[in-house]
Amino acid sequence: MTVTDTSAYETLRSKLREAAVFASVTSVLSWDQETYMPAGGGEARAEQMAAMAGLVHERKTASELADLIAQAADEVGSDDVAAVNVARMQRDFDRETKLPSKLVANIARTSSIAQDAWKAARASNDFAAFKPHLEKMLELTRQKAECWGTPDDGELYDALLDEYEPNARATEIEAVFGPLGNQLSELVAELMDAPNPPSLEPFKRPVAISAQAELGRHVLSAFGFDLNTGRLDVTAHPFCQDVGPGDTRLTTRYTEAGVGDALFSTMHEGGHGLYEQNLPKAERFGEPLGQSISLGIHESQSRFWENIVGRSAEFWRWLTPTVKDLFGDGYAHTTADELYRAANVVERSYIRVESDEATYNLHVMLRFELERALVSGELSVADLPGAWNERFERLLGVPVPDDARGCLQDVHWSFGLIGYFPTYTLGNLYAAQFTEAMEAELGQLGPRIERGEFGPIREWLTDNIYSQGRRYEAGELCERITGKALSDEPLMRYLRGKLRPVYGL
Amino acid sequence: MTVTDTSAYETLRSKLREAAVFASVTSVLSWDQETYMPAGGGEARAEQMAAMAGLVHERKTASELADLIAQAADEVGSDDVAAVNVARMQRDFDRETKLPSKLVANIARTSSIAQDAWKAARASNDFAAFKPHLEKMLELTRQKAECWGTPDDGELYDALLDEYEPNARATEIEAVFGPLGNQLSELVAELMDAPNPPSLEPFKRPVAISAQAELGRHVLSAFGFDLNTGRLDVTAHPFCQDVGPGDTRLTTRYTEAGVGDALFSTMHEGGHGLYEQNLPKAERFGEPLGQSISLGIHESQSRFWENIVGRSAEFWRWLTPTVKDLFGDGYAHTTADELYRAANVVERSYIRVESDEATYNLHVMLRFELERALVSGELSVADLPGAWNERFERLLGVPVPDDARGCLQDVHWSFGLIGYFPTYTLGNLYAAQFTEAMEAELGQLGPRIERGEFGPIREWLTDNIYSQGRRYEAGELCERITGKALSDEPLMRYLRGKLRPVYGL
């Protein structure tokens, strides 16, 4: 390959960087909207967001890009890194140009109304009021999927999945989720009858929010999240928002009597943040090689730092002295073991976002099955509550009390996020499987974690995942790192290995 | 006039609104940069700002606008409001298109380097190190003025002034500043020999920052600044940043031992904020009729609320009970009169931004004289320190100790802000003259202020100034409201009437 600065490839890179700069402006707007924007600024913000979205779409679908991509593909030939970069650019361009602007605008308008309707319906436990909106959103989402096209080896749902998890197939996911679901249901049933269940009480003592924030920052810094190129703020729903090279922002939420919630959210978003901070963005902003692979791989990082690190016995042995220092008298006699056990309570609850490591994936599988059936037409929106309640009881072993705590609990479907839910469980699966590979190389993580030695862990992740950008697809990356396709076994080994002893089994 | 929704006038309005929406995105970026952006985000932010500035310039100079403006001018005919709107659009378009993009980019680059050089030079009191940078910036600023063109009845400096104070002329400003300067020098000399000078001590007691912030919010709300469509944050240098309809943000800075600084900054920026919040932006965002008139008129509002209201005896009679409540023991025995007197201390100081109502304008006049002479070529950059020191001593009556406290103190010239300084004093002049007109209509303001009745005052300002947008130019507005051209007399009456009694004269 001979690529000069005036090559089509370099021109293309700079055009994509330009589009990414405009997109990153939108990230500032959206972060600001959730954190500091005064309430009265909402209308003007919507106008700004719409204008910027139009501009970014225009830049990403400019017809000159088609020619540049074709020329760049010739130029880079089979040089593997650049060739992969161009192939991914082609993929993104195709997807972006396949959606008619009219449909995009229609989805934006309809989903904005559907979200409001969802909020009201959830508050009043009134599925019937939400039903027409969900029907409209489902129809528009199907139209979107049809624009992208059903893959030859797949189904219509895969076209949606592809947006969040490139080239994933529902059948492959089903093949892993199936056995995982059965084993998880069994494990949860076993834990519910166990002799020595842990208590959540150590996380329920009142602690000043300033002390909780200090603890969160302490943990983030120890993990290697750079607060000089990042922030931690407070929002109603925690998130990680990347704002461009050198600027990655996290949020969490504090309650005076719920120490665990804020800390685990902080570690979760911190995991996303570590991925973002260690992507090669300075040189490759806007290019596939500077971007994260998929939502599943992104989620594997948040789950790794939140759960595999943050809910381990060794983590709590490391952190407990700091907890005692910062949280004062209420924690004077608390042991690391009590906090570790509190971090691993398993409960049969109705709400996904409040659920634990063992039941969480059951909540996700339910949504995956149902949304797949909605897209294929096997399930109608009218039958959704019944189907939800029936399958929920089968998976979780308890009946659903009402739709507000059932099929109305999540915002996702109201704005057309279908194909998104499975990435949460994919994240858990990848995290466990990557951890086994990491331990095969670095040795057991426990002793390092207990000494607060997070550097080598983060470096391993940076080398193997973060620094690679979109060099590999999720499945490829998994094969490269672990030598195997994605499997339910590492996650089940991890959960059984930890939770059975915690419960005295 | 018959203007339909598909008229050129309406198309033009919507094009300008679109450009303003993009410009308002830049406002979010710049507010964020000063408040919450992590240090590491600076490079990416510069890239975002440059991309957005290019985009906004492109939209504001689009060639289709020239035709639309011409057609709109025909359509609206002599209908006065729309005709004024279109005339101002023409003016803005002409100014925006007269600057070659190359020159704009060159100024941006050079000024960024010059600002760094200025910071270093001020820190080390080394004018020689700053001299070549100032020479370059002066040369580029002159080129800019030449692109805009010297007005027939004016001088090259007027072309710069016009950017901040449309259609103002240096000769007219000189005609007011001349007598004002003489009278102020005399007044200051008189006060310095007065028998009963006030003490600053009541503002020097340590007060928790949270209590100071609460006091600031209390005053802002009482003035009618809507915190639901605005914010108050902390930055190194206080400012007011409008972010679009329904979103106006203020900043201030707190020091534990300097209660006055934060409060007066808050009231000052609050005055700017009241103007922004009461412009007819919802319908007229991006149009002249939705914009503020000039920096001088904007400054008249910050000075009115900060000084004419906020340093009055009645204001302190109203606020002192709240000060006692919020500031605690240190203020238990403080009287309203002591605080009023502290708010009106006059001192011969070297630094403009730390100066008081009487000396402030002398600092401004000095800069006006010198920058005008720099632009005309009568004064060379090499001779600036000598000229500064000589005139400073003549105006303020004390010798300048060094350039850091002399001609190196302000950042403005380093980024080419020439023609900007006089607007500060124009603000003081307009504020005093408008106040006399307001009192002729509403009666003395004192009794209302003492009762905390700020509503009628704000409404008068809204009717006469804020709601008018750029309907009138500054001079026209002054004639309309006060029946007279701008004069030094109201400001001198106000300052003498207040300060002589404070000093026991």
| Res A260 pLDDT > 60 | yes
Cα–Cα distance, B201 to B184 (Å, whole number): 25
| Chain B residues inside the 8 Å CB shell of A250 | none
Q: Are A342 and A198 in contact (CB under 8 A)?
A: yes
Mean pLDDT of A225-246: 95
Residue A269 annotated as catalytic: yes
List Cα–Cα distances, B115 to B89, B111, B119, in angstroms: 32, 6, 6
A245–B38 C-beta distance less than 8 A = no
Instruction: State whether residue A11 is helix, strand or coil.
Output: helix
Cα–Cα distance, A48 to A40 (Å, whole number): 14
Exposure string over A420-452, b if 16+ CB within 10 A, otherwise e: bbbbbbbbbbbbbbbbbbbeeeeeebeebbbee
> Which one of B18, B38, B47 has the shortest CB-CB distance to A51?
B18
Pick the residue with more confidence: A255 or B376? B376
Q: Which residues, 6+ apart, have CB-to-CB distance to B329 below 8 Å?
A: none
| Chain A residues inside the 8 Å CB shell of B29 | 25, 28
- Residue B49 tokens read as 């700002």
| Chain A residues inside the 8 Å CB shell of B242 | none
| Res A5 pLDDT > 70 | no
User: What distance in Å separates residue B42's CA from the closest CA in chain A?
Assistant: 8
| Chain B residues inside the 8 Å CB shell of A35 | 36
Percentage of chain B modeled with pLDDT above 70: 99
| Res B245 pLDDT > 90 | yes
Cα–Cα distance, A397 to A364 (Å, whole number): 15
Percentage of chain B modeled with pLDDT above 90: 92
Put residue B483 in one of left, alpha, beta given phi > 0 → left and psi -120 to 50 → alpha: left
Active site residues of B: 269
| Res A130 pLDDT > 80 | yes
| Res A499 pLDDT > 70 | yes
User: What distance in Å separates residue A45's CA from the closest CA in chain B?
Assistant: 8
A139 touches chain B (CB under 8 A): no
Among A350, A370, A242, which residue's Cα sits nearest to residue A301? Answer: A242
> Which one of A39, A41, A48 has the shortest CB-CB distance to B25?
A48
- Residue ranges of A 43-82 with Cβ closer than 8 A to chain B: 43-45, 47-48, 51-52, 55
pLDDT confidence bin for A2, thresholds 50/70/90: low
Q: Are B316 and B340 in contact (CB under 8 A)?
A: yes
Mean pLDDT of B330-349: 96
Q: Are B423 and B398 in contact (CB under 8 A)?
A: no
Closest residue in B to A39 (Cα–Cα): B228
pLDDT digits (tens, 9 = 90+) for A176-222: 999 999 999 999 999 999 999 999 999 999 999 999 999 999 999 99
User: What distance in Å separates residue B106's CA from the closest CA in chain A?
Assistant: 21
Mean pLDDT of A311-318: 98
Among B425, B453, B279, which residue's Cα sits nearest to residue B363? Answer: B425
Cα–Cα distance, B211 to A447 (Å, whole number): 47
The number of angstroms, rounded, from the C-alpha of A228 to the middle of its chain's C-alpha atoms is 24
| Chain A residues inside the 8 Å CB shell of B231 | 36, 38
Cα–Cα distance, A459 to A449 (Å, whole number): 14
Identify the pLDDT of residue A90. Answer: 97
Q: Are A165 and A298 in contact (CB under 8 A)?
A: no
| Res B204 pLDDT > 60 | yes
> Which one of B36, B47, B228 has the shortest CB-CB distance to A39?
B228
pLDDT confidence bin for B4, thresholds 50/70/90: low
Closest residue in B to A20 (Cα–Cα): B48
List Cα–Cα distances, B310 to A465, B211, B213, B301, in angstroms: 59, 18, 16, 12
Kindly write down the DSSP assignment for every residue of A430-493, as one continuous string. Answer: HHHHHHHHHHHHH--HHHHHHTT--HHHHHHHHHHTGGGTTSS-HHHHHHHHHSS---SHHHHH
| Chain B residues inside the 8 Å CB shell of A246 | 38, 40-44
pLDDT digits (tens, 9 = 90+) for B446-474: 999 999 999 999 999 999 999 999 999 99
Cα–Cα distance, A412 to A370 (Å, whole number): 13
Helix then strand count (H, E) for chain B reads 21, 3
| Res B241 pLDDT > 90 | yes
**What is the number of other CB atoms lying within 10 angstroms of the CB of residue B97?**
16
Cα–Cα distance, B121 to A390 (Å, whole number): 75
Identify the pLDDT of residue B257. Answer: 76
Among B92, B158, B75, B11, which residue's Cα sits nearest to residue B470? Answer: B92
| Chain A residues inside the 8 Å CB shell of B18 | 51
- Mean of all residue pLDDT scores within chain A: 95
Mutate which: B16, B32, B284, vs A, most A CBs within 10 A: B32
pLDDT confidence bin for A129, thresholds 50/70/90: very high
Among B291, B277, B411, which residue's Cα sits nearest to residue B353? Answer: B411
pTM over 0.90: yes
| Res A1 pLDDT > 90 | no
| Res A504 pLDDT > 60 | yes
Identify the pLDDT of residue A259. Answer: 82
Closest residue in A to B35 (Cα–Cα): A36
**What is the number of other CB atoms lying within 10 angstroms of the CB of residue A504?**
11
Closest residue in B to A22 (Cα–Cα): B48
Q: Which residues, 6+ apart, have CB-to-CB distance to B477 below 8 Å?
A: B293, B297, B465, B468
Q: Are A240 and A278 in contact (CB under 8 A)?
A: no
pLDDT digits (tens, 9 = 90+) for A73-110: 999 988 889 999 999 999 999 999 999 988 988 998 89
A18–B245 C-beta distance less than 8 A = no
> Could you give the count of Cα atoms lying within 13 Å of B168 in the half-sphere of its Cβ?
29
The catalytic position among A165, A269, A299, A306 is: A269
pLDDT digits (tens, 9 = 90+) for A452-493: 999 999 999 999 999 999 999 999 999 999 999 999 999 999
- Residue A124 tokens read as 């009043």
A243–B40 C-beta distance less than 8 A = no
Percentage of chain A modeled with pLDDT above 90: 92
Check the CA dihedral B309-B310-B312-B313 and report its sign: positive
Identify the pLDDT of residue B258. Answer: 72
pLDDT confidence bin for A367, thresholds 50/70/90: very high
Q: Are A3 and A82 in contact (CB under 8 A)?
A: yes
> Which one of A35, A38, A233 has the shortest CB-CB distance to B228?
A38
> Which one of A44, A55, A228 has the shortest CB-CB distance to B244?
A44
In chain B, how long is the greatest CA-to-CA distance? Answer: 70
> For residue B3, which phi and psi values (nearest 5 degrees)?
-115, 120
Cα–Cα distance, A320 to A323 (Å, whole number): 5
pLDDT digits (tens, 9 = 90+) for B298-313: 999 999 999 999 999 9
Amino acid letter for position B383 = D
Mean pLDDT of B150-171: 97
B24–A44 C-beta distance less than 8 A = yes
| Res A443 pLDDT > 80 | yes
Amino acid letter for position A415 = F
B236 touches chain A (CB under 8 A): no
- Mean of all residue pLDDT scores within chain B: 95
Cα–Cα distance, B257 to A250 (Å, whole number): 34
| Res B256 pLDDT > 90 | no
B244–A45 C-beta distance less than 8 A = yes
Exposure string over A227-245, b if 16+ CB within 10 A, otherwise e: bebbbbbebeebbbbbbbb
Mean pLDDT of A301-308: 98
Mean pLDDT of B60-75: 96
Check the CA dihedral A395-A397-A401-A404 and report its sign: negative
Cα–Cα distance, B238 to B118 (Å, whole number): 20
> Which one of B40, B227, B245 has the shortest CB-CB distance to A43?
B245
Check the CA dihedral A34-A38-A42-A45 and report its sign: negative
List Cα–Cα distances, A233 to A42, A241, A251, B80, in angstroms: 20, 11, 5, 50
> Which one of B21, B24, B247 has the shortest CB-CB distance to A37?
B247
Cα–Cα distance, A421 to B367 (Å, whole number): 63
The number of angstroms, rounded, from the C-alpha of B137 to the middle of its chain's C-alpha atoms is 22
A36 touches chain B (CB under 8 A): yes
Cα–Cα distance, B170 to B273 (Å, whole number): 28
| Chain A residues inside the 8 Å CB shell of B246 | 38, 40-44
- Residue B291 tokens read as 């914009």
pLDDT confidence bin for B321, thresholds 50/70/90: very high
A229–B39 C-beta distance less than 8 A = yes
